[in-house]
Chain A
Amino acid sequence: MLLEILGTGCFKCQKLEELTRQAVKEMGLDAQINHVKDINAITNYGVMMTPALVKDGIVKVAGKIPSLDEIKKLLS
């Protein structure tokens, strides 16, 4: 599974990455997590607000930080 955190590096983006890593660890998933900070790569997804979480090329959430439980649901 490829997970991408979209965001230029602000607190919210870092928080989403932290929660995502925690979710992956607790769920025992085999996932590669990349933090995408390049604005052109972000806009190519059509994302208008960050942070955003992308799972295998599909944007799961944009513009907010989901809770840990919400992230687990998105990844399951």
Chain B
Amino acid sequence: MADCCTGGVKLLYSCSGAADVGQIADGVSRKLRDRAFARMTCLAGIGADLSGFVESAKGADVNITIDGCPVQCAKKTLERIGVTPLSYILTDFGIEKGKTLPSEEIINSLSDRIMRNEPTASGVKSSGCSCGGIC
């Protein structure tokens, strides 16, 4: 929902890809939205070059992408419009593409870890800014 007159707007995008990790990314994103970690919006709107989504991304204080795998479709979609997001890749948290059954338990666990800003398997917390995920 459109918000007005509030500072620190964080927008959240999920890759929501076809693979199991894409499905998990979608679940994690919705969980983070429900926990008010950030406001989820549509990556497809960016891909379709719809001006409202594009300008919202450019106007947000922070854009966060949740990608299931290192292909990073969500992150790269944002980068195409000149926006560098704070990026999370779920396989960096130790789950395997093609071998991870999407479950509420995994979604909750990954959501918790992102909210706690835990280091990922690769040791990279995030990219796109130096805030460590707290901005």
Contacts and interface: CB of A to CB of B under 8 A. Distances in A.
Interface of A: 6-8, 10-13, 39, 42-43, 45-52, 54, 58-64
B110 to A, nearest CB: 24
A75 to B, nearest CB: 15
A10 B2 CA distance: 13
Chain B binding site: helix, strand, loop or mixed by DSSP? mixed
B55 interface: yes
4 closest cross-chain pairs (CB), A and B: A63-B59, A46-B52, A45-B52, A59-B51
Interface residues of B, number: 22
A49 B52 contact: no
Interface stretch (B3-11, B29-37, B91-99, B125-133): B3-11
B75 interface: no
A32 B78 CA distance: 33
